Amino acid sequence: MKLNVRKLVIWLAIIMAASFGIAAIILVTTGSFSVDTEQIDKTKNFSVEEVKKINIDIVSTDINIIASDSEDIKVHFYGEVSTNIRKDIPELAAYVSGEQLYIEIIHPKNIFFGVSICRTNMDIYIPENSIEEIKINTVSADTNIEDLEIDNFVYSGVSGDFKAKSLFARDLKLESTSGSFDIRDYTGNIDIYITSGDVVLNGGIDNDSIVVTTVSGDINIEQLEEFSNMNVEAISGDVKVKLFEDAQFYLNASTVSGDINNEFPIKISSSGKRGLEGTVGSDDMAIIVSTTSGDININH
């Protein structure tokens, strides 16, 4: 019995010493047990004459891309960080190389545990009709775009929503692992792939093709002035396509588990419970829609 008590006392002493040691390491490396809030407000400006393309690579910072009547591209990184780790403040890195503007946030690497919570945003002001291409890569960040005109637009996101209003491009290529797409009033051929999330496309014009694929999520497409060739696939989710009343197109709709509803007067070439193929007026444009588990609605 005495031996067991002695062992217990020894182990308690070891645990206590280890706890004090860990506390000392945290205190030395972080500087404090308390959490302080640091403000961030950094701005960089670049002449539009030296930039043709923009590459954005962002983690945990929401992005706003805004049209500007200025002659310079302005990058504004702001927000706050709550932390007890010394120098654990993210920094704006933006520079031009070979007519490309690279924008990213550098997060310090720490080997010790501590508290660090970022609440940051980035506003990028771009002069109208000045940039040929924008590429955006984000992780845990939302992206908002308004009144942007560009040749090529490429987006790849993990865990973040994408919203755009008045996005005018020749080609739009978008993909996301977890997040939604909401695009209204846009031009350009559009190619979307999303693993988990909904897609809303509203008011598109001047585009030859719309390609949308979702693994899990609903797809809503509305084009009431003119419409494009569409190839739409949803593994698990509903598809709704709304067009103007006198639209003409070839339709091929199929589903494994779901219903198909069509409001247009269609000349049927083949139909069944899980499939519908035919032509509404002319077959110059084509709408190809398929779902594995989900309904299909073609409305006006």
80-119 residue pLDDT tens: 887 766 566 889 999 999 999 999 998 877 655 555 677 8
In a domain, 278, yes or no: yes
277 lies in some domain: yes
Least confident interval from 3-7, 78-82, 94-98, 193-197: 3-7
* CB contact at 8 A, 81 and 118: yes
- Taking the alpha carbons at both ends of the chain, their separation in whole angstroms is 86
| Mean pLDDT computed over every residue of the chain | 88
For residues 277 and 185, state if they share a domain.
Answer: yes
Q: What is the pLDDT of residue 14?
A: 74
pLDDT of 204 over the 50 cut: yes
Query: What's the pLDDT score for residue 81?
Result: 84
pLDDT band at 139 (very low <50, low <70, confident <90, very high): very high
| Residue 21 maps to a domain | yes
Asked whether residue 90 falls in the same domain as residue 188, the answer is no
Band of pLDDT at residue 171, cut at 50, 70 and 90: very high
Q: Show which of 141, 172, 191 is a domain's final residue.
A: 141
Considering the domain architecture, whether residues 183 and 128 belong to the same structural domain is answered as no
Same domain, 104 and 195: no
**Is 146 within a domain?**
no
Q: Cβ-count burial of 146 within 10 angstroms (0-12 exposed, 13-18 middle, 19+ buried)?
A: middle
Of the residues 141, 168, 190, which one is the last residue of a structural domain? Answer: 141
Q: 110-124, 164-178, 226-240: which range is least confident on average?
A: 110-124
Are residue 165 and residue 294 in the same domain, yes or no? yes
Query: Looking at the structure, do residues 98 and 232 belong to the same domain, yes or no?
Result: no
243 & 176 share domain? yes
| Residues 124-153, mean pLDDT to the nearest whole number | 95
How high is the pLDDT of residue 28? 47
| Mean local confidence (pLDDT), 249-260 | 96
Are residue 183 and residue 293 in the same domain, yes or no? yes
Confidence grade of residue 24 (pLDDT, cut at 50, 70, 90):
very low
3, pLDDT greater than 60: no
Please check whether residue 40 lies inside any domain of the structure.
yes
Residue 126 lies in a domain: yes
Residue 187 and residue 73 share a domain: no
125 has a pLDDT exceeding 50: yes
pLDDT value of position 20: 53
From 112, 141, 170, the end of a domain falls on 141
89 within a domain of the structure (yes/no) = yes
The answer to whether 175 and 195 are in contact (CB under 8 A) is no
Mean pLDDT throughout 154-178?
A: 96
How many Cβ atoms sit within 10 Å of the Cβ of residue 33?
A: 11
Q: Residue 22 is part of which domain span?
A: 1-30
Q: What is the mean pLDDT of residues 239-253?
A: 96
Same domain membership, residue 214 and residue 84: no
Mean pLDDT of 15-26: 57
Element (H, E) at 19: helix 2-30
Q: pLDDT band at 175, cuts 50/70/90? A: very high
Single-letter residue type at 133: E
**Torsion sign over Cα 125, 129, 132, 134:** positive
> Given pLDDT bands bounded at 50, 70 and 90, which one contains residue 13?
low
CB atoms within 10 A of CB 21: 10
Q: Verify that 159 and 280 share a domain, yes or no.
A: yes
In-domain check, residue 12: yes
Section 240-252 average pLDDT: 95
pLDDT exceeds 50 at position 181:
yes
pLDDT for the residue 37: 81
Cβ-based neighbours of 207, under 8 Å, separated by 6 or more: 186, 187, 188, 189, 190, 228
Same domain, 23 and 57: no
Number of domains in the chain: 3
Give the pLDDT of residue 84: 64
- Most confident option among 2-16, 86-100, 171-185: 171-185
Identify the band that residue 161 occupies on the pLDDT scale cut at 50, 70 and 90.
very high
